[in-house]
Amino acid sequence: AQSVTQPDIHITVSEGASLELRCNYSYGATPYLFWYVQSPGQGLQLLLKYFSGDTLVQGIKGFEAEFKRSQSSFNLRKPSVHWSDAAEYFCAVARDDKIIFGKGTRLHILP
Partner 1 sequence: NAGVTQTPKFQVLKTGQSMTLQCAQDMNHEYMSWYRQDPGMGLRLIHYSVGAGITDQGEVPNGYNVSRSTTEDFPLRLLSAAPSQTSVYFCASSYSSGEETQYFGPGTRLLVL
Taking every pair of Cα atoms in the chain, the longest distance, rounded to a whole number of angstroms, is 43
Which of 8, 11, 75, 95 forms a contact with partner 1 (CB under 8 A)? 95
Cα distance between residue 52 and residue 37, in whole Å = 22
Least distance to partner 1 from the beta carbon of 7, Å? 13
Q: Give the x-and-dash track for 23-52 against partner 1 (CB under 8 A).
A: ---------x-x-x-----xxxxx--x-x-
> In this structure, how many other beta carbons lie within 10 angstroms of the beta carbon of residue 72?
16
Least distance to partner 1 from the beta carbon of 92, Å? 8
Q: With contacts defined by CB under 8 A, name the span among 11-19, 56-64, 68-76, 95-103 that binds partner 1.
A: 95-103
DSSP structural state of residue 57: E
Q: With contacts defined by CB under 8 A, name the span among 13-21, 55-63, 70-78, 100-108 that binds partner 1.
A: 100-108
The sign of the torsion formed by the CA atoms of 100, 50, 30, 78 equals: negative
Cα distance between residue 102 and residue 8, in whole Å = 11
Residues at the contact surface with partner 1, assessed by CB under 8 A: 4, 9, 32, 34, 36, 42-46, 49, 51, 90, 94-104
